[in-house]
């Protein structure tokens, strides 16, 4: 809120509003804390859905392919909710979104060595090449499937009408294939690659309250 007194704060996510509110706090409270969360000053932007955009036939082909591939995998643990249907995308988790934090860490460590999600995505890219779906890896245990052009840059189109001297974006999945990469590298933003909430908290005063401490430039991509 201290930062918001100086600049507008906007949260950009690929999931629907209820998921973002769940991550950020109480739903009514979240609306008041930020200037933008899939809405603009409290006015909801038009909702788009993956199934309307891709069509039911292609969507079912995607889901069936994912189910077949999931059936062949043997991660350390398998829990519930392997495919979650959000308005803007499908979220696919080889270990299941019902995993505990300990189980998520266990899968993440194995995934770093064996590239489980990366190989899964490559198989889907080959099968659905030229048909419209895009894929990006995010978080510890899953990856996302969404229509072409529906990455996080989608929100920038709703901001072009506003007069901003500069827009900063902070995210942790900023490498190619990560779900923050496109908006991080977009020429309309100054992208900041961070590895934790703590780094973001440290970086913001350096950027927006420079009179109090020197600004650091490491890791800043324009």
* Tens-binned pLDDT, residue by residue, of the chain (222 aa): 888 888 888 888 766 677 777 777 766 677 778 877 754 334 445 555 666 667 789 989 999 999 999 999 999 999 999 999 876 678 999 999 999 999 999 999 999 999 999 999 999 999 999 888 888 887 789 998 887 766 777 778 777 656 678 889 999 888 887 888 888 998 989 999 998 888 888 888 888 886 654 444 444 433
Q: Where in the chain is the domain with CATH 3.40.50.1000?
A: 3-48+151-221
Report the CATH architecture of 50-147: 2-Layer Sandwich (3.30)
Strand partners, 132: none
Sorted by sequence, the CB contacts under 8 Å of residue 84 that are 6+ apart come out as: 90, 91, 93, 97
Q: What is the pLDDT of residue 211?
A: 64
Whether 189 has a binding-site annotation, put simply, is yes
The whole-angstrom separation of Cα 79 and Cα 219 is 37
Strand partners, 143: 92, 137
pTM for this model (two decimals): 0.56
- How many residues can be counted in the chain? 222
Q: Where in the chain is the domain with CATH 3.30.1240.20?
A: 50-147
Whether 126 has a binding-site annotation, put simply, is no
Contacts 24+ apart (CB under 8 A), 68-74: 69/120, 69/123, 69/124, 70/94, 73/116, 73/120
Q: What is the pLDDT of residue 182?
A: 85
What CATH number belongs to 3-48+151-221? 3.40.50.1000
Whether 134 has a binding-site annotation, put simply, is no
Residue pair 95/77 in contact by the 8 Å Cβ criterion? yes
Whether 17 has a binding-site annotation, put simply, is no
Q: What is the pLDDT of residue 122?
A: 95
Whether 218 has a binding-site annotation, put simply, is no
Whether 186 has a binding-site annotation, put simply, is yes
């Amino acid at each position: 809120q201290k930062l918001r007194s100086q600049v507008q704060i906007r949260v950009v996510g690929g999931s629907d509003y209820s998921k973002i509110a769940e991550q950020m706090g109480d739903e009514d409270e979240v609306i008041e804390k930020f200037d933008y969360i899939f809405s603009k000053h409290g006015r909801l932007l038009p909702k788009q859905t993956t199934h309307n955009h891709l069509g039911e036939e292609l969507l079912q082909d995607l889901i069936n392919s994912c189910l077949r591939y999931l059936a062949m995998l043997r991660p350390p643990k398998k829990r519930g909710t392997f495919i979650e249907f959000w308005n803007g995308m499908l979220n696919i988790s080889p270990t299941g979104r019902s995993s505990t934090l300990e189980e998520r860490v266990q899968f993440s460590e194995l995934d770093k060595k064996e590239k489980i999600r990366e190989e899964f995505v490559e198989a889907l890219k080959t099968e659905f090449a030229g048909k419209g779906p895009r894929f990006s890896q995010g978080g510890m245990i899953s990856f996302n499937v969404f229509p072409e052009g529906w990455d996080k840059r989608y929100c920038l189109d709703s901001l072009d009408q506003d007069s901003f001297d500069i827009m900063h974006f902070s995210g942790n999945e900023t490498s190619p294939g990560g779900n923050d990469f496109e908006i991080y590298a977009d020429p309309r933003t100054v992208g900041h690659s961070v590895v934790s909430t703590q780094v973001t908290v440290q970086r913001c005063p350096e950027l927006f309250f420079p009179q109090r401490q020197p600004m650091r430039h490491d890791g800043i991509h324009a």
